[in-house]
Structure 1
Amino acid sequence: MLRFACVAFLMLTCEFAMGQDKVPPVVSYDIACTFQLTFYPDSTSTVSKTEPFLLFINQEQSLFKSQNRYLQDSAISASSDGANRQNLISFLQKHRTDFDFNIVKHGCNAIRTTDRIYHDYFSYAEAEGHLQWALTQDTTTVSGYPAQRATTEFGGRKWEAWFTERVPVSEGPYKFCGLPGLIIRLTDSKKQYDFVLNGLKQSRREIPDTTPLKTVKTDKRTFFRKRQEYRANPVGIAEQSGVVFTSGRSEITQRIQQKIKSDNNPIEFSTH
């Protein structure tokens, strides 16, 4: 593990924990879905990765985040008194995620994403009407449910969704919604991102709102620009925030740049 990455991780852990001193509000959800994502972080490689995701739904809103992010947030919230800090850090390192975003939908035209750049959290709203679906007559069975196919374009990709009216909620993974049933499979045209439903439970579940208190509200275009600025100069931005490299700066810079170069295939390429 890069020393720079370890420093950033520990700073994030401490700041997040300090920001959760107050008891977070709790939201009740009626449906809990699990999705398995298979994705290719490097578009030039044939090596894929997998990560589980959670989608919680009630009549007013939904919450979508990676399972590891959910476990991290829950552990940080439970350890906000500072006890067992070493155990907490070990737990967080064990449950690392490639996806820090937290997506809350109040209907398909009111979507807010909270995401991280380095150790700062930003929140932005999705534009209304960000999805224009084309329904087809194609049908199949996905995860044991009868499903119908629909297509759309979003974030610089073409997407294919299979939804089921057997679960009559207009929801789905990531920022996808607006169909007459739950989206149970979502795949981009290059098959670089593939979400598949692998579990659904209808039972009440209390989920604490673990959104960091120190979150900067911005717009999506600004968030994407800041993320690109960080990717272009991660070590410089770390130094601006107070990180001091006593030795090995060039080696750390080279390693981080190589890591960023191989992480070239985000789920969204553009803000349109």
Structure 2
Amino acid sequence: MICKNTHAVLSVLLLLCSTVHAQEQAKYRVTYDCDAQIVTGKTNTYRWTLDIGETTAVFYNKNYRLYSRELAEAKANGTSTALMDQLPVIGQKYFPKNDLQIVIGTPEKGKYSYYKQLLTSGLKYEDALPSIEWQLTDSTKTICEYECKQAVGSVYGRTWTVWYSTELPLNYGPYILNGLPGLIMAAKDSDGLFDFKAVGIENAPEDALVSAYEEDRHQKCTRKRFLEIRSDSEGMSQDQLVNRILNQNSSGEKVIVYTVQGTDAKIDAKVEVPKYNHLDKE
């Protein structure tokens, strides 16, 4: 961890240039814990990673990447029956996980690329990085040994109260929160559904790249279309949801859609379609 007494290492970083380099090497890694109600009424603590390079940064959930890699190995090395037996075990090993990825500064400066899976399809879109009108306050507190100042701002329908440190001159934060004169160390939305707090700041591993995981598995669309698909999917009944997932499978193989409890969603009449909360409300 980069502690208070070594923060000077960061004080000379990030002379931002106008040219964006694809998949540049990460210099710094920030780890956040987020208490989140992604499913209404159920709070879980997700661990998020923010890898920062000279011109770009990527925000992702490490548990999902580990889960995806182990699942791919299981698919390559075992039978379909063995995979079905391993699926709940692997899923629980990396619980909770989230496949959201956001790359800031791509495909060019001032934009971001958003990656998310809906049903069984990986989707991605590019959009302009929102300019947040922050209201600065006089409140201060210490997080990870750094003195932080408070600011309040809104983006995509949510109002966030954040704490940032000017001792860490990094124009980033969790999610797409940005635009303050220092790294955002904590952020909480006004509905109390998402509560981020930095728990570690360190130099990134030498092999860490600022890039999306399995980028080529995501189909490109617009943000508007992404939100339409997400809204339509969440408005389905249980049977409609399962049927849509099954219809997306084009390999001809038998597919079983499992519930969180590990039962067959097609025949489990007790399954309810959950109500989801998202970092963006609009």
Query: In the alignment, which residue of structure 1 is the partner of 2:4?
Result: none
Deviation, 1:71, is 1.9
Question: Which structure dedicates a bigger proportion of its chain to helix?
Answer: 1
Range with bigger deviation, 196-205 or 161-170: 196-205
Query: In the alignment, which residue of structure 1 is the partner of 2:26?
Result: 29
Distance in 1 of aligned mates of 2:227 and 2:186 = 26
Q: What amino acid is the match of 1:267?
A: L
Query: In the alignment, which residue of structure 1 is the partner of 2:56?
Result: 61
What are the equivalent positions in structure 2 for 1:1-272 lying under 5 Å apart? Answer: 27-43=24-40, 45=41, 47-75=42-70, 79=73, 82-83=76-77, 89=87, 90-106=89-105, 109-207=110-208, 209=211, 210-231=213-234, 232=236, 233-242=240-249, 251-252=267-268, 255=271, 258=272, 260-261=273-274, 263-270=275-282
Distance 1:266 1:26, change over 3 A: closer
Query: In the alignment, which residue of structure 2 is the partner of 1:9?
Result: none
Distance in 2 of aligned mates of 1:84 and 1:166 = 50
Q: Is residue 242–residue 266 contact of structure 2 (8 Å, CA) maintained in 1? A: no
Deviation, 1:230, is 1.8
SS in 1 for 2:128: coil
Q: Is residue 235–residue 253 contact of structure 1 (8 Å, CA) maintained in 2? A: no
Q: Is residue 26–residue 207 contact of structure 1 (8 Å, CA) maintained in 2? A: no
Deviation, 1:119, is 1.5
Q: What amino acid is the match of 1:30?
A: K
Range with bigger deviation, 81-90 or 181-190: 81-90
- The count of residues paired between Structure 1 and Structure 2 equals 238
Distance in 2 of aligned mates of 1:145 and 1:84 = 48
Deviation, 1:82, is 2.4
Q: Write out per-residue CA displacement over residues 51-89 of structure 1, whole angstroms, 9 at most, x where no aligned residue.
A: 111111110211111121132345467x49924686885
Distance in 1 of aligned mates of 2:103 and 2:128 = 14
TM-score (norm 2): 0.73
Fraction of identical pairs, as percent: 19
Distance in 1 of aligned mates of 2:69 and 2:134 = 35
**How large is the Cα RMSD of the aligned pairs?**
3.0
Unaligned runs of 5+ in 2: 1-21, 257-263
Distance in 2 of aligned mates of 1:212 and 1:193 = 26
Unaligned runs of 5+ in 1: 1-24
